[in-house]
Amino acid sequence: MSSNNNLLVKLNNAGYQHNDKWLVKGVSLRVEKGKIVTLIGPNGSGKSTTAKIALGIYKKIDGEVEKYTNKVGYVPQKISIDWTLPLRVRDFMLLTENLKDEAINEALSLTGVIHLKDKNLGNLSGGEFQRVLLARAISKKPDLLVLDEPVQGVDFTGEIALYELIKKISDELNCGILLISHDLHTVMSATDHVVCLNGHVCCSGSPIDVAKNNEYKALFGEQASQILSRYEHKHDHVHTNDGEIKKN
């Protein structure tokens, strides 16, 4: 089928255990070109682990993972850069790919940190560094973007702008995005598919389906469910239009 050609990564009943403890188990999901798949769930529910399984960082896994691309951009949740390395932002941008200067400038401008290009990585603030991480991941124009809480520490207005940027990138590059986020508002407005994790897949589907799910309500509380469905409702016509065009 045509949807199979768009497939970027597929997890089939995948799990990972460390020190005899399952970090996550029985996860099945697929990321396709141009789609945003979001993982949500409480702390320790295995979101980052699932992302690392999809990326092939964890090798001794249960189940199967099939990756159909090597052009991957990754924004990890935690990254500590050692100050023994003299590393400027421009050096960091070239870490995994040889890029032209224009490509570097373009990506840094998109995330609003072009003025930091010659700064030492160790001297950036948390939010600035997060923007650089995102710029690095998108600069190589990847097929698959894996973003593990990409806007942590970014100021409020920046956060909204960056989520808009992520949505725009997914449309323009037609790349698939596996997103991990705590911000339910944003998640629901941009996401095509939500996977709700709690050590296993607790429920998954379109945002509106997940919001109605009882397990989701039990996990996040009634209020979260309202946030989510209200958001969905507010943008009802936009989404319905989108969906209908595709369906027709």
- Positions touching another protein (CB under 8 A) are 52, 55-57, 70, 72-74, 76, 79, 81-82, 84-88, 91-92, 95-97, 120, 140, 146
Q: Which run of H or of E encompasses 190? A: helix 184-190
- Return the number of the residue (32 or 143) whose C-beta is nearest another protein: 143
Using the structure block, give the residue that is written with the tokens 């595709």. Answer: 246
- The least CB distance from residue 129 to another protein, in Å, is 12
Say how far apart CA 170 and CA 176 lie, in whole Å: 6
- Return the number of the residue (96 or 125) whose C-beta is nearest another protein: 96
- The least CB distance from residue 197 to another protein, in Å, is 19
For residue 70, give Cα distances in angstroms to 54, 141, 229.
12, 12, 36
Using the structure block, give the residue that is written with the tokens 């397990």. Answer: 215
- Return the number of the residue (85 or 238) whose C-beta is nearest another protein: 85
Residue-by-residue DSSP string for 12-38: EEEEEEETTEEEEEEEEEEEETT-EEE
- Return the number of the residue (52 or 131) whose C-beta is nearest another protein: 52
- The least CB distance from residue 236 to another protein, in Å, is 37
Q: Is 171 exposed, middle or buried (0-12, 13-18, 19+ CB in 10 A)?
A: exposed
- Return the number of the residue (83 or 174) whose C-beta is nearest another protein: 83
- The least CB distance from residue 122 to another protein, in Å, is 11
- Return the number of the residue (55 or 166) whose C-beta is nearest another protein: 55
- The least CB distance from residue 214 to another protein, in Å, is 35
- The least CB distance from residue 207 to another protein, in Å, is 27
Say how far apart CA 186 and CA 228 lie, in whole Å: 9
Pairing of strands 72-75, 193-197: unpaired
